[in-house]
Amino acid sequence: MNTKELITKIPELNSYKRFGRVKRVVGLMIESQGPESAIGDVCKIHIRKGKSGSQIIKAEVVGFQHDMVLLMPYSTISDIAPGSLVEGTGEALKVKIGKGLIGSVLDSLGNPLDGSDLPKGLSSTSVENMPPNPLTRPTISEPLEVGVRAIDTMLTIGKGQRVGIFAGSGVGKSTLLGMIARNTKADINIIALIGERGREVREFIERDLGPEGLSRSIVIAATSDQPALMRIKGAFTATAIAEYFRDQGMNVMLMMDSVTRVAMAQREVGLAVGEPPATKGYTPSVFAILPKLLERTGTNHLGTITAFYTVLVDGDDMNEPIADTTRGILDGHIVLDREIANRGQYPAINILKSVSRLMNHLAENGHKESANKIRNLLSTYEKSEDLINIGAYKKGTSPEIDEAILYFPSILSFLKQGTHEPISQKQSIEQLINLANKGGF
């Protein structure tokens, strides 16, 4: 921008600073008399802390009550006192984005978790963006290799597809995400760890992701001890970073663990603001924020974001409110089954309960026919499993059940895969076709 352009911008600058004062703190909520602001604006709360002088706590405007501004902080509120100065910025939260972040682990505000400085040459962007116009979204027509045999063959994923991974706790969600991050053919991985235990963040990075996966990933971590707003912003920051790389023409892989904890954080915010609890205590804003977040991924005219969102299902109940809502928004769901995990089959994907809504448009005829045959054999075996296990079924009674019993051990072996056992999609499909035609692979 040259000098003349800068001079013309001067009249547009807002030279006023707007201030308010903290009047009350109730639970997670800070009530302030002023400043003039809008929903989503970031404010700076100036606090005095010992001899070190004034420090700043950032907070966000989440609502209004009478003439009070309702704020929620991005950090702890222990040092905020009545009369603390509140400075309005007039801007929503922005983060720094660029290729220099690849290989980094960031917090929800885009700052490196290891305390290092951000690299130079980054650009600034808002974390709150609108989803692409539906008419500008290209259709999904190209499969994406994720390197997990059960998914590449039985639940083929396309570039720009959004899929939910539904599971209870301890069934292998993080391990599956690590496998996908290491093996996928996407250009870059954006991984959001929302509401995780602090111990699990480093474990995921070192064990599940590994140096190979981290070298082509950006990780955003918001642990369970952080304020609700930080957990929500972690999801929005990760999505904004993914959007930046999509607009560079890349095929981006976004993995979020988990969208359920984003919903729980929004419930905390909603209840603190005064929203009435609705289904199972979730406030109406929860069901408004989910499509707003999930619809931002997918395709646009520049690139793609293929997204995997993990969903915690309480008590393995697939019909609980968050699981039911996300399943209706996304383009497919992968169900991890505790019973399958208990018998030592990993990844513990229940093929019969899982579906990719785009597989019929992405897979070739031979691939689809083989996958359908394996599904039918699994379904037949599952329906007759009790009779087979107690010895009540006599061989020769049903040709379909006989064939299912014959194929079952080979199908189980095919669906198993070691966590560090990479395999290409082409090899996986060849093995599937051999299994369907010959009973082995």
Asked if 171 and 228 sit in the same domain, the reply is: yes
If one counts every other C-beta atom within 10 angstroms of the C-beta of residue 122, the result is 16
Domain boundary among 92, 109, 127: 92
Asked if 302 and 378 sit in the same domain, the reply is: no
Asked if 116 and 175 sit in the same domain, the reply is: yes
If one counts every other C-beta atom within 10 angstroms of the C-beta of residue 2, the result is 6
CA neighbours closer than 13 Å in the CB half-sphere of residue 336: 28
- Least Cα distance to 356 among 308, 408, 301, 322 occurs for 308
Domain boundary among 339, 362, 385: 362
Asked if 206 and 354 sit in the same domain, the reply is: yes
* Per-residue three-class SS string for 85-143: EEEEEEEECEEEECHHHCCCEECCCCCECCCCCCCCCCEEEECCCCCCCHHHCCCCCCE
Domain assignment present for residue 13? The answer is no
The gap between the terminal CA atoms of the chain, to the nearest Å, is 62
Outline where DSSP puts E strands in 280-399: 298-299, 304-312, 332-335, 355-356
Domain that holds residue 115: 98-362
pLDDT of residue 53: 59
Domain assignment present for residue 12? The answer is no
Domain assignment present for residue 148? The answer is yes
- Identify the residue whose tokens are 């064990």: 207
Pairing of strands 304-312, 251-257: parallel
Query: How many Å apart are CA 99 and CA 318, to the nearest integer?
Result: 38
CATH code at 49? Answer: 2.40.30.20
Query: How many Å apart are CA 307 and CA 344, to the nearest integer?
Result: 27
CATH code at 419? Answer: 1.20.1270.330
pLDDT of residue 12: 64
Asked if 239 and 321 sit in the same domain, the reply is: yes
Q: Which two three-digit tokens encode residue 429? A: 């499909």
Query: How many Å apart are CA 295 and CA 81, to the nearest integer?
Result: 40
Asked if 111 and 85 sit in the same domain, the reply is: no
Check the CA dihedral 197-203-209-214 and report its sign.
positive
Residue type, 153: T
Domain assignment present for residue 259? The answer is yes
Query: How many Å apart are CA 176 and CA 415, to the nearest integer?
Result: 13
Domain assignment present for residue 22? The answer is yes
Asked if 37 and 129 sit in the same domain, the reply is: no
CA neighbours closer than 13 Å in the CB half-sphere of residue 142: 13
What residues contact residue 193 under an 8 Å CB cut-off, 6+ apart? 200, 201, 204, 219, 220, 221, 222, 223, 234, 257
Query: How many Å apart are CA 323 and CA 313, to the nearest integer?
Result: 6
pLDDT of residue 6: 67
pLDDT of residue 438: 77
CA neighbours closer than 13 Å in the CB half-sphere of residue 171: 23
Asked if 134 and 193 sit in the same domain, the reply is: yes
- Least Cα distance to 290 among 154, 164, 375, 116 occurs for 164
Domain boundary among 92, 124, 150: 92
Pairing of strands 188-196, 217-223: parallel
Query: How many Å apart are CA 272 and CA 351, to the nearest integer?
Result: 41
Asked if 358 and 226 sit in the same domain, the reply is: yes
With b for 16 or more beta-carbon neighbours within 10 A and e for fewer, the 310-322 pattern comes to bbbbeebeeebbb
- Least Cα distance to 163 among 144, 182, 136, 178 occurs for 144
pLDDT of residue 111: 92
72 forms beta bridges with 60
Write out the chain's pLDDT in tens, 441 residues.
567 766 776 666 666 778 899 999 888 889 999 888 999 899 999 887 665 556 888 999 998 888 899 999 988 777 788 888 999 988 889 999 999 999 999 999 999 988 888 888 899 999 989 998 999 899 999 999 999 999 999 999 999 999 999 988 778 888 899 899 999 989 999 999 998 888 888 888 888 888 888 899 999 999 988 989 999 999 999 999 999 999 999 999 999 988 999 999 999 999 988 889 888 889 999 999 999 999 999 999 999 999 999 998 876 677 788 999 999 999 999 999 988 988 888 899 999 999 999 999 999 999 999 999 999 999 998 988 878 777 787 887 888 888 988 999 999 999 999 888 889 999 999 999 999 987 666
Domain assignment present for residue 3? The answer is no
Per DSSP, the residues of 138-185 read PPP-SB---S-HHHHHHS--BTT-EEEEEE-TTSSHHHHHHHHHHH--
Domain assignment present for residue 374? The answer is yes
Phi, psi of 187 (to 5 degrees): -75, -35
Q: Left, alpha or beta for 160 (phi > 0: left; psi -120 to 50: alpha)?
A: left
pLDDT of residue 171: 86
Asked if 72 and 196 sit in the same domain, the reply is: no
Number of domains observed in the structure of the chain = 3
pTM of the model: 0.89
* Per-residue three-class SS string for 26-51: ECCEEEEECCCCCCCEEEEEEEECHH
Asked if 132 and 227 sit in the same domain, the reply is: yes
Asked if 338 and 387 sit in the same domain, the reply is: no
Domain assignment present for residue 9? The answer is no
Helix (H, G, I), strand (E, B) or coil at 295: coil
CATH code at 130? Answer: 3.40.50.12240
- Identify the residue whose tokens are 């093995």: 431
